[in-house]
Amino acid sequence: MKKYSVALSLLILIGAVYWSFEALMPQNYSKADAPANEFSTERALTHVKAISQEPHYVGSEAHKTVRDYIVSELHKTGLQTEIQEGYTSGDWANLSKAVNIITKIEGTGNGKALLLLTHYDSSPHSSLGASDAGSGVATILEGIRAFLSEGKKPENDIIIVFTDAEELGLNGAQLFVNEHRWTQNIGLVLNFEARGSGGPGVMLVETNGGNSELIKHFAEANPKFPMGNSLAYSVYKMMPNDTDLTVFREDANIEGFNFAFIDDHFDYHTVMDNYERLDRNTLEHQGSYLMPLLHYFSKADLTNLKSDEDYIFVNVPVFKLINYPFSWITPMLVIAWIVFIVLFLFGILKREIGLLEVFKGFMPFLLSLIICGIIGFYGWPFLKVLYPGYHDNLHGFTYNGYFYIAVFAFLSVAICFSLYNKFKEVKTVNLIIAPLTIWLIICTLVAVYLKGASFFILPAFAGLASFYILINQSKPNLILLSLLAFPALWILSPLVQMFPVGLGLKMMVAATLLTVLIFGLLTPVLGFYKRKGKLALLAVIIALGYFIAAHVESGYTPDRPKPNSLLYVYNADTGKAHWATYDISIDPWVSQYIGENKQQPDQKDKFSSKYNTGFSFISDAVLKEIKQPEIEKGSDTIINGKRHVEICINPQRNINRLEVFANTKRIDQLEVNGIPFSKEYLKKREHKLFNHQVSHNMYTDIKLVVPENEKIELTVYEISNDLLSNDRFSIPPRPKNTIPMPFVVNDAVLVKKIFKL
């Protein structure tokens, strides 16, 4: 084996990894001088900028400003708009009044319509909503402008809906799907979303049936950077989903595609979801989906996109979106096992394979899996001990999270190299047997339990080809073997990053295990490397370098601010008040109010929050004069053995939200502001009854039906997000290296009142 071929093969392997990431999304973006009929990211950015000036959640002042902006931009393209307004009970009992913006480009034919979908509200209360979902609004506005600039008419109607109150409970989507006259005729939805501020837009199919027709048409529409795979599709199908598109699928059996970017999750729902931080190439990627799909599906027959059959699909450089039916899974698996066994027997006959050697070959592979598995599993808890501030990052993905992924990936590589170095007397042909066996076992398991992941067989086939070469040639061409590692590197390396990015750093174990599994598939090449010890050392040094980089970025700066929280809670029944926070690691700003005097709360009510976060600490506070809500009892009558009660809550100050908890166990019926809540919800609900995101200090009218002798006890929390701007308080401004913690009621003044009937 010539020295330079070792170096060259290593470069090829590294190049393939690099390529696999480069090919996921555009690496530059279109400028303002792009032709009028093309999507321009720079033009789209002007919309993002206009939308993301202020938080624009339901009930906020900027909410209407953003709506007016979108309407006027639509009018500029010559489209008529319609506003749909109404209360819905929302997902998770989040009542709110949504105001949807709806428009239509009339088609020349009479087929089903294509729907372009995104939401324009931002998340309460601090998010600027540049990515979520300003990017979606901008993508659609710029896309239809480009589409209409040619003056051509589409064959299918193109309906465009900018929903409202998505962030609260998908209320706008519920309102549209269940009440709008156009729902009946929709054939397909393209939904644009964001769960971070960068990275590739991931295509996720949403369907009640199989995906085969959707995938075939998607591949035929030929977007430039198709990014998505059936593993995510299968996982997504098993989890409870909550995008606007889910409402279309569940309530109206309408399917479609989500295009959502999920990188830089730490910006999600925070004030850092701003114009500057939205990755320009990400916006380009969203546009690069919309344009070809808009042209394609505005002509395609949208009546027959339903199917019972599922397809495997995965994005691969050069080949774009590889796809084939689920029915191929078993034959491919059987062929792979047969080829493997035949080659194995053939190798024994040829005396290339020795059983003891094979056994020894299992050692470094299994040990690597075990050690890297343990390191990956305990990695995140260990980091939280080193850096307690990470507890307050509710996203579970820190600003330096990408460095940590690199640390653990290189550490895994180092462990593999050093263990394989201990077994360097084992011939390469015997080393490949362990990883191939484990891969085929994994492929067999996913063929049963997680069919969408069955594209894992593709790298295994390439591994079998290498196995064949190794049996037949004692001095194989290392370059050829490196090329046979491409399927493993192209398909699997982005997944090393995707798992912790998608599911949080707590899933680091997926990254370390996958790194070992990929390493195993590279043994046909790496087995020939003489200096494994040196390579192990090099990998450790690189891991260490990334760890130092992560440490340098572990502090809090205006670019990487620490999320914190502060609330003032006034108990109107006891006449006492206290400060409260969710923070585990208390910073100087919070400690002005909750410091030495902090106590553990005995708080029963947890306000609606994404991760069910409760107060960590409270402290006594000086009483301020805060107006209580007026609670008026209306009728209270017994009808057919049931007690019917009406209560109206009227705010006496500027509020954003009302959370109502009920100690009453059995509630047979609930209606709030005329909107009934489902029986299923009332059965499964626990302490919380509902919450109402209040627009314009609207009243909350509650009608309850309970068993005749049931006592009613409601705990009402009236919430205003004005703690920092309220005249009665003089809270110093938040330091620049902190931001309001997302996903929880924060920067708020709360009034608690118990109401018994």
Query: What span, in angstroms and rounded, lies between the C-alpha atoms of 134 and 282?
Result: 13
Looking at the Cβ atoms of 117 and 332, the one nearer to Zn ion is 117
Query: What span, in angstroms and rounded, lies between the C-alpha atoms of 408 and 508?
Result: 8
Scanning the structure block, which residue is given the tokens 């050093």? 418
Query: Under the rule (CB under 5 A), what is the footprint of Zn ion?
Result: 132-133
Looking at the Cβ atoms of 196 and 228, the one nearer to Zn ion is 196
Closest contact distance (angstroms) between CB of 122 and Zn ion is 8
Looking at the Cβ atoms of 191 and 565, the one nearer to Zn ion is 191
Closest CA to 529 of 15, 18, 2: 2
Between CA 162 and CA 398, with CA 258 as vertex, the angle to 5 degrees is: 100
Closest contact distance (angstroms) between CB of 171 and Zn ion is 13
Q: Across the beta sheet with 675-676, what order do the strands follow?
A: 630-639, 642-650, 700-707, 669-672, 675-676
Q: Which long-range contacts (CB under 8 A, 24 or more apart) does 673-676 make?
A: 673/87, 673/95, 673/698, 673/699, 673/700, 673/701, 674/87, 674/701, 675/87, 675/88, 675/89, 675/95, 676/89
Closest contact distance (angstroms) between CB of 257 and Zn ion is 16
Closest CA to 48 of 220, 233, 287, 239: 287
Looking at the Cβ atoms of 44 and 483, the one nearer to Zn ion is 44
Do residues 456 and 234 touch, judged by C-beta distance below 8 A? no
Q: Which long-range contacts (CB under 8 A, 24 or more apart) does 625-630 make?
A: 625/728, 626/570, 626/653, 626/728, 626/749, 626/751, 627/652, 627/653, 628/572, 628/652, 628/718, 628/751, 628/753, 629/658, 629/716, 629/718, 629/751, 629/753
Closest contact distance (angstroms) between CB of 169 and Zn ion is 12
Q: How many CA atoms lie within 13 A of 312 on its CB side?
A: 21
Phi (first) and psi of residue 751, to 5 degrees: -115, 125
Query: What span, in angstroms and rounded, lies between the C-alpha atoms of 532 and 416?
Result: 9
Closest contact distance (angstroms) between CB of 284 and Zn ion is 19
Closest contact distance (angstroms) between CB of 136 and Zn ion is 8
Looking at the Cβ atoms of 57 and 467, the one nearer to Zn ion is 57
In terms of Cβ atoms closer than 10 Å to its own Cβ (0-12, 13-18, 19+), residue 408 is buried
**Structure tokens given for 310:** 């599922």
Looking at the Cβ atoms of 141 and 231, the one nearer to Zn ion is 141
**Structure tokens given for 642:** 């049931």
Looking at the Cβ atoms of 421 and 609, the one nearer to Zn ion is 609
Looking at the Cβ atoms of 241 and 437, the one nearer to Zn ion is 241
Closest contact distance (angstroms) between CB of 167 and Zn ion is 6
Looking at the Cβ atoms of 133 and 751, the one nearer to Zn ion is 133
**Structure tokens given for 728:** 């009665």
Closest contact distance (angstroms) between CB of 241 and Zn ion is 13
Closest contact distance (angstroms) between CB of 166 and Zn ion is 6
Looking at the Cβ atoms of 134 and 187, the one nearer to Zn ion is 134
Looking at the Cβ atoms of 132 and 718, the one nearer to Zn ion is 132
Phi (first) and psi of residue 156, to 5 degrees: -85, 150
Looking at the Cβ atoms of 40 and 191, the one nearer to Zn ion is 191
Closest contact distance (angstroms) between CB of 750 and Zn ion is 26
In terms of Cβ atoms closer than 10 Å to its own Cβ (0-12, 13-18, 19+), residue 662 is buried
Query: What span, in angstroms and rounded, lies between the C-alpha atoms of 187 and 619?
Result: 55
Residues 6+ apart with CB under 8 A from 295: 147, 221
SS3 672: strand
Closest contact distance (angstroms) between CB of 89 and Zn ion is 20
Looking at the Cβ atoms of 133 and 159, the one nearer to Zn ion is 133
Q: Which residue is nearest to Zn ion (CB)?
A: 132
In terms of Cβ atoms closer than 10 Å to its own Cβ (0-12, 13-18, 19+), residue 728 is exposed
Query: What span, in angstroms and rounded, lies between the C-alpha atoms of 746 and 566?
Result: 6
Closest contact distance (angstroms) between CB of 286 and Zn ion is 13
Closest contact distance (angstroms) between CB of 132 and Zn ion is 4
Closest contact distance (angstroms) between CB of 32 and Zn ion is 26
Query: What span, in angstroms and rounded, lies between the C-alpha atoms of 158 and 106?
Result: 7
| CB atoms near residue 429 (< 10 Å) | 28
Looking at the Cβ atoms of 132 and 164, the one nearer to Zn ion is 132
Instruction: Write the CA distances from 595 to 187, 360, 581, 586, integer angstroms.
Output: 57, 59, 11, 8
Closest contact distance (angstroms) between CB of 193 and Zn ion is 5
Looking at the Cβ atoms of 133 and 518, the one nearer to Zn ion is 133
Query: What span, in angstroms and rounded, lies between the C-alpha atoms of 291 and 269?
Result: 28
Question: Based on C-alpha coordinates, what's the Rg of the chain?
Answer: 29
